[in-house]
Amino acid sequence: MTKITDIKSRLIYNSRGSETIEVDVYVEDIIGTASSPAGASVGKFEAVSFRNSQCNDTIEYLNEYKSHLIGADCSDIFALKNILKDADKTDNYSNIGGSAAYAISLASVDAASQILNKPIYEILLNGKTAEMPLPLGNVLGGGMHAGNGSTDIQEFLSYPLGANSIHSGIQANLLVHKEIKKIIDKKDSKFSGGKGDEGAWAPQLSNTEALEVAQEAIDTVSDAVGFEIRLGLDVASSSLWVPDKELYVYSRENKSRTTEEQISYVLELIEKYNLIYVEDPLHEEAFSDFTELSSKNDNCLIVGDDLFVTNTSILQKGIDQNAGNAVILKVNQAGALGDAMEFANLCNKNNYAIIASHRSGDTVDRHLAHIAIGSGSVMMKSGVVGGERISKINELLRIEETNFIKNNVSMPIARVKKYVS
């Protein structure tokens, strides 16, 4: 019996101290629970988080609206998505709120997991082969996630390319995080240990200095652990783009770049630092520029976050133009879990790599690990330290352990080499 019998919601707080929604979905005496994250860097075309931009308005509306969901099958994420969309009657969940759609659909599949005695990722995979995504960790950063004086580039990321288990991958990222702190302390004896929203170190360094620090730490830890670790970046270019001037403005560098110069700059960084991953190297409407950059690179993931905002229609436009070769998947950008899984299916059909991602304002909700496996993600972007980040990483460890006990064999690791040369 998987029919929803009641839904309850409440206001809670995320890791930035901002209001968000948590939902309980009841199936008789079984309770599934989920809470919604929120981003600081928000794409123009994302689902609207809350009704009237207010969490309490969303909760009030949900209390009136929940009768539409009573009796629905909690295991059918696509039927739930259709019910939510039919009742919302907008393209961006502005009536019910994308955060509510997210939490309802995740809490529903959480309840289904308990009833069916299946992990959530198995329900999402629906018979497809499971692979474990290695963690992509934010180890140093700035931009909208940190204070004044930090880097223009928003995130410097550690990816344990050669790890053969989730545990060794997590450990490598943690070691890189610690090594970066040691290097910063040597450079700046007054560094107080400040961190950004996602737990990455936020020193007052130039972009070039930060790149050198991150690369030095990665090289040191790679030698220590005996496998290759690679550097990645989230440029978050929409926050640098000034439309009126048609320039990317790097205020920390006191430098502006035209589109052509931005493409050249990114290509130089890919080559010099052997980058495995560059997210949002161009602004959120720059499809043709993404296409140009992608055509000049075949050994690095060119990732669209603000470009695609987990939106299937926008993704199809990118596919048609060969814009990028990878996407960020954030369920609450799309709204309901069913929306996000339709997006993932289109990615997998067209060989676009998926990176299931946390958000800067997150909760201790563990479901991202299941979404990452269930969507066929090659990486799980989840930060390195902080309770709201560790909760997702630890769930990957539990899944790895449980799968081994059940099948007496490790779940295979998803490999990025499928998407880059």
What's the pLDDT tens digit per position in 330-344? Answer: 999 999 999 999 999
Give the three-state DSSP class for 7. Answer: strand
pTM, two decimals, is 0.95
165, part of any domain? yes
* Domain CATH for 268: 3.20.20.120
CA–CA gap between residue 131 and residue 415 (Å, rounded):
9
Give strand pairing partners of 257.
248
Same domain assignment for residues 140 and 20: no
Residues 147 and 282 in one domain: yes
Give dist(CA 279, CA 156) in Å, integer.
10
Kindly state whether residues 295 and 362 are assigned to the same domain. yes
Does one domain contain both 88 and 205?
no
Active site residues: 198, 330
How far CA 50 is from CA of 70, 89, 91, 247, in Å, comes to 22, 15, 14, 32
CATH number at residue 63: 3.30.390.10
Residue 409 shares a structural domain with residue 329: yes
The residue assigned the tokens 């270019």 is 237
Q: What confidence category does residue 276 fall into, taking pLDDT thresholds of 50, 70 and 90?
A: very high
| Residue 44 reports pLDDT greater than 80 | no
Predicted local distance difference test score (pLDDT) of residue 65: 87
Q: Do 108 and 142 belong together in one domain?
A: no
Is the pLDDT confidence value at 274 over 70? Answer: yes
Domain total in the chain: 2
Q: Answer yes or no: is 124 within a domain.
A: no
Q: Which string of DSSP letters, residue by residue, matches 150-197?
A: S-SS-EEEEE-TT-SSHHHHHHHHHHHHHHHHHHHHHH-TT----B-T
Residue 128 falls inside a structural domain:
no
210-262 pLDDT per residue, tens: 999 999 999 999 999 999 999 999 999 999 999 999 999 999 889 999 999 99
Domain-embedded: residue 125 = no
302, part of any domain: yes
Residue that finishes a domain, picked among 67, 89, 118: 118
C-beta neighbour count of 244 within 10 angstroms: 5
Same domain flag for 401 and 281:
yes
Please classify residue 312 by burial: count the beta carbons closer than 10 Å to its beta carbon, then call 0-12 exposed, 13-18 middle and 19+ buried.
Answer: middle
Q: Is the pLDDT of residue 41 over 80?
A: no
Residue 321, number of CB atoms within 10 A of its CB: 13
Question: Is the same domain home to 192 and 277?
Answer: yes
Q: Strand runs (DSSP E) across 305-367, as ranges? A: 326-329, 353-357
Residues 257 and 347 in one domain: yes
Q: Give 356's pLDDT tier (boundaries 50, 70, 90).
A: very high
Condensed to tens digits (0 to 9), the pLDDT of residues 85-124 reads: 998 889 899 999 999 999 999 999 999 999 999 999 999 9
CB count, 10 Å around CB of 271?
12
pLDDT tens across 148-161, in order?
Answer: 768 999 999 999 99
- pLDDT of 404 reads 84
Beta bridge partners of 103: none
- Both 112 and 259 in a single domain? no
Range of the domain at 312: 134-418
pLDDT class of 321 with cuts at 50, 70, 90? very high
Same domain? 181 vs 226: yes
Question: What is the pLDDT at residue 144?
Answer: 75
Does residue 325 belong to any structural domain of this protein?
yes
pLDDT of residue 39: 67
Is residue 129 situated within a structural domain?
no
Spatial contact of 301 and 325, defined as CB atoms under 8 Å apart: yes
One domain for residues 70 and 169: no
Q: Evaluate if residue 308 carries a pLDDT over 90.
A: yes
In a domain, 1, yes or no: no
